[in-house]
């Protein structure tokens, strides 16, 4: 029987646009965890979670390194996964429109598909030797390779167009995660930057985007366009999932967070049937 591991990066979003008690997402994972023998839901946390999480799921508190990508990779080390396990990595500021995405992913990952995202990130002509985006804010003159683990640096050896998979949602077989050397991420504590007007702000997006493009480089290099698939062409949105972007999009039915379609090859969009 196929083993499915869900890893939720827990920021504990139960509030959207000032509306508290939005627990449908957590309740949905609880039902799945309680009623499916071969699905395990694990919460990767950066601080002790609230009771709705701690009393209903296995969880672990990890150091906040690499945001969601660091949380996922630390979870891999903690969970000791079997190579044939199907792994879902997903944030908790998510609106699930249709839970059929689980069966859709399982079916597709037993074909030629290697990694599935929700909607795509922006394609990037990626040169590993150029200065990384995060370096602009840190003023450290870091190249992209400077953020890669030593054992993976040899992978980043050429420039090409990468197709991004956002850390909000992705699914892979664990053996394919192993094949690319796990996830690379900015292995530094989250820090603040300074805008031109002198305002300080937390560098959440530069940290997260740097890690996302590092891993998207590996996905593209190892699996090619044919191995990367999305539920839709829309940024942060599909018929299954709305990614709330650090909790900034309200629940389904009020505003859908439509940001338009991105220019990716048609063959990268999965063909599937909505069951309900």
CATH code, domain with 74: 3.90.550
Examine residue 200 and state whether it is found in any structural domain, yes or no: no
197 domain-assigned: no
Condensed to tens digits (0 to 9), the pLDDT of residues 197-210 reads 888 888 888 899 99
Q: Which residues of 21-52 are buried (b: 16+ CB within 10 A; e: fewer)?
A: ebeebbeebbebbeeeeebbbbbbbbeebeee
Instruction: Decide if pLDDT at 254 tops 50.
Output: no
Number of domains in the chain: 1
List the domain range (segments joined by +) for residue 9.
4-120+165-187+224-268
The C-alpha atoms of residue 232 and residue 268 are separated, in whole angstroms, by 9
CA Rg value for the chain: 18
- Segment 8-30 shows an average pLDDT of 80
Domain annotation covers residue 264 = yes
Determine the 3-state secondary structure of 161 from DSSP: strand
pLDDT band, residue 100 (cuts 50/70/90): very high
- Rounded average pLDDT over 227-238: 92
Q: What is the mean pLDDT of residues 226-237?
A: 92
Query: Sign of dihedral through CA atoms 68, 69, 70, 72?
Result: positive
Whole-number pLDDT of residue 2: 64
The answer to whether position 229 is within a domain reads: yes
Beta bridge partners of 58: 42
Percent of the chain with pLDDT over 70: 90
Task: Single out the residue of 200, 234, 204, 250 nearest to residue 14, CA to CA.
Answer: 250
* DSSP H stretches of helix in 90-203: 101-109, 133-138, 174-179
Compute φ and ψ for 7, nearest 5 degrees. -120, 115
| Rounded distance between C-alpha atoms, residue 208 and residue 190, angstroms | 10
Does residue 142 form part of some domain? no
Contact 138, 189 (CB under 8 A): no
- CA dihedral of residues 261, 262, 265, 266 (deg, nearest 10): -10
Residue 131 lies in a domain: no
Tell me, yes or no, whether 53 lies in a domain. yes
Residue range 166-185, pLDDT digits in tens:
999 999 999 999 999 999 99
On whether residue 23 sits in a domain, the answer given is yes
C-beta separation of 60 from 48 below 8 A: no
């Amino acid at each position: 029987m196929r083993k499915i591991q869900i890893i939720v990066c827990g920021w504990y979003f139960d509030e959207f646009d000032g509306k508290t008690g939005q627990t449908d997402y957590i309740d949905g994972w609880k039902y799945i965890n309680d009623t499916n023998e071969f699905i395990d839901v694990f919460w990767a946390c950066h601080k002790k979670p609230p009771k709705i999480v701690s009393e209903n799921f296995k969880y672990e508190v990890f150091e906040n390194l690499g945001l969601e990508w660091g949380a996922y990779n630390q979870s891999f080390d903690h969970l000791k996964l079997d190579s044939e396990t199907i792994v879902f990595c997903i944030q908790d500021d998510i609106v699930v429109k249709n839970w059929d995405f689980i069966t859709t992913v399982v079916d597709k990952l037993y074909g030629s598909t290697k990694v599935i995202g929700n909607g795509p990130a922006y394609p990037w002509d990626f040169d590993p030797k150029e200065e990384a985006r995060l370096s602009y804010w840190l003023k450290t003159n870091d190249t992209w390779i400077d953020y890669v683990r030593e054992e993976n640096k040899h992978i980043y050896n050429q420039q090409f167009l990468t197709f991004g998979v956002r850390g909000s949602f992705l699914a892979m077989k664990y053996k394919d995660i192993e094949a690319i050397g796990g996830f690379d991420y900015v292995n530094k504590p989250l820090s603040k930057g300074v805008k031109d007007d002198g305002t300080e702000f937390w560098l959440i997006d530069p940290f997260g985007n740097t890690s996302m493009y590092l891993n998207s480089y590996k996905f593209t290099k190892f699996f090619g366009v044919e191995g990367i698939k999305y539920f839709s062409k829309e940024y942060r949105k599909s018929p299954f999932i709305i990614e709330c972007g650090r909790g900034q999009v309200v629940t389904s039915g009020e505003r859908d967070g439509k940001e338009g379609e991105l220019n990716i090859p048609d063959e990268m969009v999965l063909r599937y049937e909505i069951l309900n």
